[in-house]
Each structure stands twice: as structure tokens, then as C-alpha cells.
Amino acid sequence: MTRVLIAYAGDYGNTEKMANACAEGIEQVEGMTCLMKHADKVRLEDMRDSDGLIVGTPVHMGCMDWRVKKMIDTISSGLWMQDLMNGKVGGVFTTGSGYGNAGGGCELTMLAMLNSFAELGLLIVPLPKMTVDFGLGGHHWGPYGRSASPSGNHVGVSEEALNVARVHGANVARAALAVKGAEIFKAE
Amino acid sequence: MTRVLIAYAGDYGNTEKMANACAEGIEQVEGMTCLMKHADKVRLEDMRDSDGLIVGTPVHMGCMDWRVKKMIDTISSGLWMQDLMNGKVGGVFTTGSGYGNAGGGCELTMLAMLNSFAELGLLIVPLPKMTVDFGLGGHHWGPYGRSASPSGNHVGVSEEALNVARVHGANVARAALAVKGAEIFKAE
Amino acid sequence: MTRVLIAYAGDYGNTEKMANACAEGIEQVEGMTCLMKHADKVRLEDMRDSDGLIVGTPVHMGCMDWRVKKMIDTISSGLWMQDLMNGKVGGVFTTGSGYGNAGGGCELTMLAMLNSFAELGLLIVPLPKMTVDFGLGGHHWGPYGRSASPSGNHVGVSEEALNVARVHGANVARAALAVKGAEIFKAE
Amino acid sequence: MTRVLIAYAGDYGNTEKMANACAEGIEQVEGMTCLMKHADKVRLEDMRDSDGLIVGTPVHMGCMDWRVKKMIDTISSGLWMQDLMNGKVGGVFTTGSGYGNAGGGCELTMLAMLNSFAELGLLIVPLPKMTVDFGLGGHHWGPYGRSASPSGNHVGVSEEALNVARVHGANVARAALAVKGAEIFKAE
């Protein structure tokens, strides 16, 4: 079996809902399985023994939740040192109150997680605009579950954002299958 | 007089409307004047002889319009070489169809322009969330004039986005006045 | 045949040298061919009919050369509109005088090009640290040809940076082969 | 008195050395004082009652140390909510082994911290290239204390990087003095 690990942190259940939707998408792809864990619980082996990685976070002050960063610092840095993740695949998603009508920090939050992914040698899976409901839940780096309207009313993540997350999960799963066994990166 | 240069590029008039609103905001501040030019027309002296700089652009493929970049490469690089902009102030704004509900690239677009500003030694003026209508036209790095609804319908920049741009112009103007004459940066 | 397009701009030949090294790397991979063009010359069909894309640029004022951005705005935006690049692969490289000892803007320059790649739906190929000579010519998003020493003396791109570029070209080529024919992205 | 808070995290003393150099620079400026604390120890009042903020971090997997992010999430988010930091000034610095010859993630690390600063409404103080020893310890967003040579040998932060940090501290201090009392940001 080919496996994607979903690691996430969150406060009010929105990020977990998005993670669940990604998981559904992954498991719709034949031959794929999913391991989903809160960032606090992820162990080095969970990451090492997966073929792909999806990390999700609420946007907190323009960057990822500190618990996600703690996981990256304490777990993935060890894998980086030993070059154990090269050639796997990775994707990201965020949730956010979306204060302001322009994402409120979700882009840099995604880029910050992807900066870690690049160091790990993961092939990055973006999110094409052709994705269903992209207009309401998409960003080119991954799904965005906006949990408030521009006027500030809390609305929770929408069905559309969950649809986008489902497709993203399946995309990452298909990417993991496509590159599995291929030796893409060589030292020279 | 203290002067802020507004340089912009654009396709359908939305960015120009936002630039006009910034200009209004600047000129509401006592002692301030504004010079507004299309990026294609900006000369080195325009930038050198201003106390502050606002650059606005549509978001094109996740970064600034190439004409804005051309201005930065051909005009501001000469000023950078000679250290002639250190200690002035700068701000940015963007417009965009906002494809996707998450800004569609506006954050990295702003950061890319600000990367140039930092090299020039400009103090960067962000946009606080307390700004009127921030929820509909704001981003923490500057105004965002979203010209389409999440469903993709073209709507033009809203009155709210123009209000945000007006306040941003005034903020940059007040920042220019506050630091004028202060020798903030020293070589050692 | 599977083809990677290398598009680049540059001033003094350093970026072209790096592009040539990438091309060598691509052509070392069986079944691969390379099309290399200055950004000014790239046509829509060049990009559309390639399986992978490498874009290289000098770092100018903290972002890509304006001619690279012009290509992205005028060529790749049309492909984005029609969803014609989804599922291909992409990589980047930069050259720079490296003013300061910290890359002098190369990271954001790479991220800005990658922001466009993500919109196009390209799988992003990073550069693992295990790459030969990474310590002298590598960055996790791609090769970096530093053309000056930290003290400012012009030195040209080093043999080590060219080695890194060669490996990066081969990595992107192998990634293009691995995903060719796989339908990674679906709309729902 | 006008005060700048320096908050930092670190592992082997390099970041603390850089923080100490910033502190020296701040205290060389007449009328200025400095409060320096490890990120774990910073309280909301420390930040609220300061006129400026310098945050320093090692680069860990391409972004800030998780303890710095924890401080931002748990301390500065409360100040953001209440709009209590608008119009103060901020600067950043990083240390890093500098794996690769291109900063190894320091630029995005700085931008990620600055994304939080922008949300707080801080005027951002960059680092001009005219700064003494910029070529060996500078980046346009702040000092960079590279603790290893490109070949990977640990060397600790250099005297030059500490010089840059000293000047940066003084720059931030002078900026704090220049804008103190000026009401730069208004709601409308």
C-alpha cells in the first residue's frame, strides 16, 4: 500500500474537518491509504514510512500554528539530516478567519510550510484552478477553508472548501503513486 | 513640501482607481503632495526626489505586472547602487480578480515588491486591521482591490477597497513626515 | 521524446552558463530532450508542447528579471487560462552577485517564479541537500550561481554551481518522465 | 525612556550573541533602553510596553524556531486583537548554519516573522547595504549570523555579523525614536 500522512493542528475543529476531507480524497484513490494525526502526536516513523505528506494549519499571525512548526523542527529535521524524505510528495492546506478579503496571511503560511518541504526534497503538489469549487475554497498552493465572511461573521468551513480539500487529497495520492519507485533525485 | 511618488501599472483601470484613492489620501495630509505616474513613465529623479514611495500592481500569475518589475530593475536599481533611498518610506497595494477566495497571489506579489523596497532601505508601512473597511479591501501589507467575486463575476474595485486605499495613502504620508530629517540608518 | 523547456534571461552570461549546465543534465537522461531559449524568444507553443519547465533568472532587486516576468505574463498566463500545463513539472534556478552572505534575495526570487508555476499546476521539483556541491551552489528550491564573493569581488559562477545545475536539470528530467501520462490532477 | 524589546530563541548561543550585539547597538543611542528576553519568557506586557521590537531566530527547516512562533501565537496575537502595537517599529535577524551558499532559508524565515509584524501594524526597519560588514553578515531584511562555512565547517557567528547586528539594533532604536508620538495610523 502507498500511504499519505496528514498532520494538522487546530483550535475549533475547522482544520480537522479539512483534514478529514483530504483523507476521504486520499482513500478514494485505489491502492492508497491515509494516516491522519494531530501534529502533537506525529512520530518520526509516521513521516518516514509514508509516501506523501499533507500538512494543514490554521493561519495564526500570518504563519503556521506553532504546534505544526514544533513538529517540523523536532520530527522532520531528523529526516532531513539523513536525506530520508527525498522524492516523496507533499501538499498543504490552511484554514483561517480570512480577516480582510485577501486571504489574511494564508499564502505566506503555505509558503513557509513548503519551504520545509523543499528542504526535505518533496515534490510539491499545487492545486490547479480547474478544481471544482476552487473559487470558494481554493488557493494555488492548496485548499483554504475560510471560516469567516469578509464582514467578520464566523461561518465555519464551507462545503465547497471541503470539496476542494477532497480533490487535493486525491491529487496528492495520485502524485504519490506516480512517483513511487522512481528514483528522481540523484546526488550527481 | 514632502512628496510621495505613486507608481503603478494596470490593464482595465482598477489599479489606476486605487492609485487615485491613495493620492487623495496623501493630499489630505497637511504639508504633503503626491506625484502619480504609470510605471512606464517613472524617471530616476521622480523616485530620488520623493520622500516616500507607493507601488501598486495587478496580480499577474502570482507576482507583480512585468512593467512594474521593469521599473524596479531599470530605475530603482540605480538608486540602490548609490544608497540614495535609505530612510525613506514605502507602501504597496494590489488589485486582482481574486480567483479563489484567498487572495489569489496578492500576498507574494506584495512581498516581492517589498523585497525591492527593503533593498532600497525603505521603512515599510503596513496596513493595520483597524483600518475602515479592512474586511473588504485590506491585507496586512496594503490595500487589495478585488475586482471579481469568488464566483468569478467581474465587479470592479469596491468603494470599500478605495476607502482602504485612501487611508493607506494618508498613512504612508504621515510616516514620510514623521521620519523626514531623522537619520535612521547609519553605516556603523 | 519527453522535453524540458529552459527559459532564462541574463546580463553577463552567468545565467546562460547555468542554463547550459541544466540542459546538459537533462540530456544525460535517456529519452529526454531539451529546448533552451532566452525568455524574450519563448513562444506559447514552446511551453505548451514541453513536459517540464525550468526557468532561470538573475536576482534583480530581490526578484526575477523583468524579462522573465514579461514572459510569464504574456505567455504562461494564456496557458493558465486554458488549464494546459496542469500536471507537468517545473524547477527554477538563479544567479546573483550574492551581495551579503545570505543569498541577497535569491529565495524570494525563486518563490516568486514558483508562485506562477503553482498557478500553472506544475509539480515543483526542489533540490535536496544530498546533491553534490550543494554547499557551494545549492538552495533548497534550486541551484544558485553566486557570481561574487561575500567581499564583493566578481568571480563568475563556479564549477560547483554548474555541477549543481547539471544535477537539477537531470532531476527535473527524471520527474517529467515519472509523471508523464499519469493523470494526477482531476477537477473533482 | 524609549524601549526596544529583543526576543529570541536559540540552541548553541549564536542567536543570543547576535541578540546581545543588537542590544549594544540599541543602548548606544541616546534616550534608548533595551529589554532582552528569551522567547519563552516574554510576557504580553513586555511587548505592549515597548516602542520597538526585534525578533531573532535560528533558521530551522526554512522558517523560525517553533518557540518564537509560540510566542507570536500566544503573546502577540492578543495585542493584535486589541490593536495595541500599531505604529511601533520592528526588525528581525537570523542565524543559521547557512547550508548551501544562498542563505539556506533565512529570507523566508525573516519574511514569516515580518508577516506577523505587518499584522501588528509595525513599521518595518530593513537593513541597507551601506551597513558596515554587510557583505559578510547582512541581508536586506536584517543581520544574518552564518554559523558555518559553505563547506559545512562550524565557525560560529563572525565579528562582522555581530557588527551588522550592532548597527541594526541602533537603526531600530533610531526609528523608534523618530516615530514615537507620531500618530501614523488612523482608522479613516
pLDDT, tens digit, 9 for 90 and up, residues C119-128: 999 999 999 9
As given in the structure block, the three cell numbers for residue C17 are 552558463
Please judge whether C63 and B105 are an interchain contact, meaning their C-beta atoms are less than 8 angstroms apart. no
Please judge whether C98 and D100 are an interchain contact, meaning their C-beta atoms are less than 8 angstroms apart. no
Q: Residue D151: pLDDT above 80? A: no
- Residue B73: inside a domain: yes
Out of B61, B70, B73, the one facing C119 most closely (by C-beta) is B61
Please state whether A153 falls in left (phi above 0), alpha (psi between -120 and 50) or beta.
beta
Interface test with C, best of B59, B61, B141 (most C CBs within 10 A): B61
- Residue B184: inside a domain: no
Q: State the pLDDT at residue D154.
A: 80
- Residue A175: inside a domain: yes
**Chains contacting B with at least 3 CB pairs below 8 Å?**
A, C, D
Q: Are C127 and C107 in contact (CB under 8 A)?
A: no
Strand partners, D56: D8, D93
Q: Residue D152: pLDDT above 80? A: no
Q: Are D168 and D145 in contact (CB under 8 A)?
A: no
Q: Residue B98: pLDDT above 80? A: no
Q: Mind telling me how many Å the CA of D186 is from chain C's nearest CA?
A: 31
Chain C residue whose CA is closest to B61: C116
Out of B62, B99, B102, the one facing A144 most closely (by C-beta) is B102
Q: State the pLDDT at residue C26.
A: 98
Q: How confident is the model at residue D148 (pLDDT cuts 50, 70, 90)?
A: confident
pLDDT in tens, chain C (188 residues): 899 999 999 988 999 999 999 999 999 999 999 999 999 999 999 999 999 999 999 999 999 999 999 999 999 999 999 999 999 999 999 999 877 788 889 999 999 999 999 999 999 999 999 999 999 999 999 999 998 877 677 888 999 999 999 999 999 999 999 999 999 999 99
Out of D74, D77, D111, the one facing A108 most closely (by C-beta) is D111
CATH number of domain containing D162? 3.40.50.360
Q: How far apart are CA D172 and CA D91, in angstroms?
A: 7
Q: From residue B160, how far is each of B136, B142, D188 by CA, in Å?
A: 6, 13, 11
- Residue A122: inside a domain: yes
Please judge whether D144 and C62 are an interchain contact, meaning their C-beta atoms are less than 8 angstroms apart. no
As given in the structure block, the three cell numbers for residue D125 are 526597519
User: Stretch D70-96: mean pLDDT, rounded?
Assistant: 97
Please state the φ and ψ torsions of residue D154, each to the nearest 5 degrees.
-70, 130
Q: Summarize pLDDT for A15-53 with one digit per residue, the tens.
A: 999 999 999 999 999 999 999 999 999 999 999 999 999
- Residue B78: inside a domain: yes
Amino acid letter, residue D31: G
- Residue A185: inside a domain: no
User: Stretch D72-86: mean pLDDT, rounded?
Assistant: 96
- Residue D160: inside a domain: yes
Q: How far apart are CA D159 and CA D147, in angstroms?
A: 11
Instruction: List the domain range (segments joined by +) for residue A82.
Output: 2-179
User: Stretch A102-106: mean pLDDT, rounded?
Assistant: 91
Chain A residue whose CA is closest to C166: A188
Task: Express as a percent the part of chain B with pLDDT over 70.
Answer: 98
Task: Express as a percent the part of chain A with pLDDT over 90.
Answer: 88
Q: State the pLDDT at residue D22.
A: 98
Q: Residue B152: pLDDT above 80? A: no
Q: How far apart are CA C16 and CA C36, in angstroms?
A: 10
Q: How far apart are CA D127 and CA D94, in angstroms?
A: 13
Split into its structural domains, chain C has a count of: 1
**Chains contacting A with at least 3 CB pairs below 8 Å?**
B, C, D
Q: How far apart are CA C154 and CA C127, in angstroms?
A: 25
Average pLDDT, chain A: 95
Q: How confident is the model at residue D149 (pLDDT cuts 50, 70, 90)?
A: confident
Q: Mind telling me how many Å the CA of A16 is from chain D's nearest CA?
A: 19
Which residues of C make CB contacts under 8 Å with A? 80, 83, 86, 89, 111, 115, 117-119, 121-132, 140-141, 163, 167, 170-171, 174-175, 177-179, 182-188
Which residues of C make CB contacts under 8 Å with D? 62, 98-108, 111, 129, 134-140, 144, 146, 150-152
